[in-house]
Structure 1
Amino acid sequence: MKRRHILALSALPVLGGCAATAPAPVELPLGWAGVGNTTGGAKAIPEHVFDVHDRAGLDAALRLGDKPKIIRIHTFIDLCPGGVEAFRDPEFNFDAFDRAFDPATWGRDAPRGPLEDARKRSEKRQADGSVVRLPSNTTLLGVSPGAGFLHGMVLLDKVSNIVIRDLRFSDAYDHFPAWEPRDNGHGEWNSEYDALSLRGAERVWVDHCLFDDGNHADKLEPIRLGQRVQHHDGLLDITNGSDLVTVSWCRFQAHDKTMLIGNSDGRITDDGLLRVTLHHNHFHACKERTPRVRFGRVHVVANLFSAERAEDFGYSLGVGIRSRLYSEHNHWELPPEIKADRLIRRLKGSAFTDRESRLNGQAVDILAAWAATHPGETMSADVGWRPDESYDAAALRPARPDQLVEQIRAGVGPRRA
């Protein structure tokens, strides 16, 4: 695989009472983030390189705002250490909420009144404490084994030029999910937090990270109001017109709705934005949305999708409204009862391209398999663009396709310092 040129950083002074060593050289990303010349905080002066060991140190570094900065994370920072009682409004009670809004007596109207108001106050208190907002021109690096963020969301909201590498994002747990009684016709619990969320962000590179739900898998949660409670949203969502994003060499594991690209069918202003490259990632036991795309020109190349159990797999690539999803050289390792037509799901989309992909080691024509099981429906194989027209896509294609799965399994996730 070809490599991009490297920006070298000078030696650093003593910071925060401990000797700061020079960070590793910063590679420029391939794919759409490379088109945007995404460098993060590479231009930081030595005084704007921070070694962070706790939340207080993180908040201090972020107060620098949009000036170029490098934030080196050394520990697994719990963004919500107090648990549910640290944020629960005194007037909110879970059992009382369920009794009040039981569909058998309340019906299918949206919750309202003092209990719902108290839930919203509780949710706001959690958000105020557990959401980290990254400013522009930031490099966020994990530099010690296990470095990352627990029980919270890292948010990139209307910012640009961000590099995030070698971090674990785990268990972005919403203690106060919203009950939406008409969702999917039977009602659903919907949570607020993604582990990492891009909203109107541009020029972002996420590389060698790990995303999971920690010890709180939603499938283990209780049934309330007739539906299993969902305390997690996405692992990495890219919405609200975000653009020029590359996600590479990351592991996503044991999650349901994993990655959303484009948040609404009606948000037509997203057309022309949401340009995203996903390469050399491993999606393991991720049930769906890996990714689910609306509007964007999304290149999904040289990724691995795997599951040991059929119940842990729904679909991989969601072809949403006006999406232009270009898939190539991807590998699926799935139970034998999962056939090729289930690798994609049509969600109002009209076009999908795939080439050189494999299911359990065998070449597969995904679009033809889907068409054979959906008579009367059509999807074009022409998505109206080719990655090679925009960047060096050849650098992302495997030189040895037979070795790709092994390379991904060995190479994804945070690298040890």
Structure 2
Amino acid sequence: MRRPIPRPPLTLALAASVLLAATSFAPASAEPDPDPRGLGRQTLPEGDGWGSAGYGTTGGSAAAPEDVHVVSTFEDFREAVGGKDDDTPRIVYVEGVIDANTAADGTPLTCADYAVDGYTREDYLETYDPGVWGWKDPEGPLEEARIASSAAQAEQIRVEVGSNVTVLGLGDDAVLTGASLRVHDVDNVILRNLTFADAHDCFPGWDPGDGGSGNWNSEYDQVEVSGATNVWVDHNTFNDGDNPGTELPEYFGRKYEVHDGLLDIVRQTDLVTVSRNHFDGRDKAMLLGNSDGRTSDRGYLRVTWHHNHFDGLGERAPRVRYGQVHVHNNYYTVRDPDHFGYGLGVGKESHLYAENNIFDLHDGIGAGELLYNWGGTDIVEQGNVLMSGGSGRLTPVDLVAEHNTLFPDRPLGTDLTWVPQLTAEVEPVHAVRGLPRKVGAGRL
């Protein structure tokens, strides 16, 4: 079992010494403080969900002045966040729009720049069309070229964050677009006040055996948290940028999906708080645990989701396996039955506790569709309400009863297997009514 990296808490004395150092060594002509409110040195408050357990989540709050960086290019961003083998406390301020699809000299990069060994999408579609190739897995030189091209893109757009790091957007327009940020095998990371936009895969792969009629599968979560401990994801916006999933074309009768998850938390990650974010418009949005067969996740994946706006998502808000997961005081805007599947996914050995959430239903979508049983057994839910018809009236709902009426062949139970303890942020459900105006990037 990987242990967190020991570190002292940010005491008042330590905070004062950091401030004194910054004051003592700053030249008289120093630039204005980019963070006058001290947001970069804020830590997750005590009792604020699972991320406050263990050593707590303090990010880069103890960073020395020389380890505080303001970045506005992707190359500078990659260097500043340190990588997973670096545990130096750092604060990284993101200024303006940073595009991962940009070469070191500032030249924009397109999908054609990553293609190698003669790959083109047109050739791929012509070669592996089921009417020509049949319903078997793609193989041969063109599939190998797709894989090699995908590796070239991954080398460019994936970036890994080190331990003891805070990444904070400056102002209300800090954007990481095209990037796949990985918080992988590290400890103590804070991500705040950023827009994560359009981490698109230039080279989706066709899987004819996925589902009853095949599917296009993509790489690149916008943020992947894997094998990490003590993480706080707060006041961010996650969206498709200028590449909305609803406008993607169809090939072989299936949507040519170029996006993976908005925020996936997987592979023995533990002690995470996800708060006050805006998750916008993605089909398959968020996984907690990525495989029924990954039994090593037992005892991990303890995550709190609170005060988030789940806005027009298709499914996985979130879908949960194994973990003890508290989902409270979130606002679900549920619309467009052509793209909506479910809200909360109850998966294998999941321990979901859903409390005081608002489900704002549109377009004739019913309460029975808000849960889906993906091989789970029980979910504890209390204090959840519906808001529909534009009336603003809050109506109590029994989510499990509604689900079981709609899906009598895969019912859910309500056995209590754990009780959330780190609940300082739990509010009455009516307090969530105006939440969409208060969350996401630019609202700190």
Relative to the length of structure 2, the TM-score reads 0.87
Residue 410 of structure 1 deviates from its aligned partner by 2.3
1:57 matched to 2:76? The reply is: yes
Tell me the residue number matched to 1:74.
Answer: 95
Tell me the residue number matched to 2:425.
Answer: 396
SS at match of 1:269: helix
SS at match of 1:122: helix
Does the C-alpha gap of structure 1 residues 221 and 21 become closer, same or farther in structure 2, counting only changes over 3 Å?
A: closer
SS at match of 1:311: coil
Structure 2 Cα separation of the partners of residues 6 and 55 of structure 1: 33
SS at match of 1:396: coil
SS at match of 2:373: strand
Percent sequence identity over aligned pairs: 37
Q: Deviations over 1:14-35 (max 9, x none)?
A: 5998444453240324100001
- Structure showing the higher strand proportion among its residues: 1
Residue 381 of structure 1 deviates from its aligned partner by 0.6
Check whether the contact 1:54–1:75 (CA below 8 A) recurs between aligned residues: no
Residue 73 of structure 1 deviates from its aligned partner by 0.8
Structure 1 Cα separation of the partners of residues 137 and 243 of structure 2: 27
One-letter identity of the residue aligned with 2:42 = V
Residue 217 of structure 1 deviates from its aligned partner by 1.5
5+ residue gaps, structure 2: 1-9, 103-108, 388-393
SS at match of 1:123: helix
One-letter identity of the residue aligned with 1:62 = V
One-letter identity of the residue aligned with 2:400 = L
1:246 matched to 2:262? The reply is: no
5+ residue gaps, structure 1: none
Check whether the contact 2:336–2:363 (CA below 8 A) recurs between aligned residues: no
1:28 matched to 2:44? The reply is: yes
One-letter identity of the residue aligned with 2:114 = F
Check whether the contact 1:73–1:144 (CA below 8 A) recurs between aligned residues: no
Check whether the contact 1:6–1:27 (CA below 8 A) recurs between aligned residues: no
Matches within 5 A, 1:170-319: 170-319=197-346
Structure 2 Cα separation of the partners of residues 378 and 147 of structure 1: 44
One-letter identity of the residue aligned with 1:28 = L
Tell me the residue number matched to 1:39.
Answer: 58
Check whether the contact 1:137–1:162 (CA below 8 A) recurs between aligned residues: yes
1:363 matched to 2:390? The reply is: no
Structure 1 Cα separation of the partners of residues 148 and 30 of structure 2: 39
Superposition misfits of 4+ residues, deviation over 6 angstroms: none
Relative to the length of structure 1, the TM-score reads 0.93
Structure 1 Cα separation of the partners of residues 156 and 229 of structure 2: 25
1:387 matched to 2:420? The reply is: yes
Q: Deviations over 1:251-276 (max 9, x none)?
A: 00111000000000101110111001
Check whether the contact 1:299–1:325 (CA below 8 A) recurs between aligned residues: yes
More deviation, 258-267/62-71: 62-71
Check whether the contact 1:218–1:229 (CA below 8 A) recurs between aligned residues: no
Provide the aligned C-alpha RMSD in A.
2.0
SS at match of 1:327: strand
Structure 2 Cα separation of the partners of residues 278 and 89 of structure 1: 41
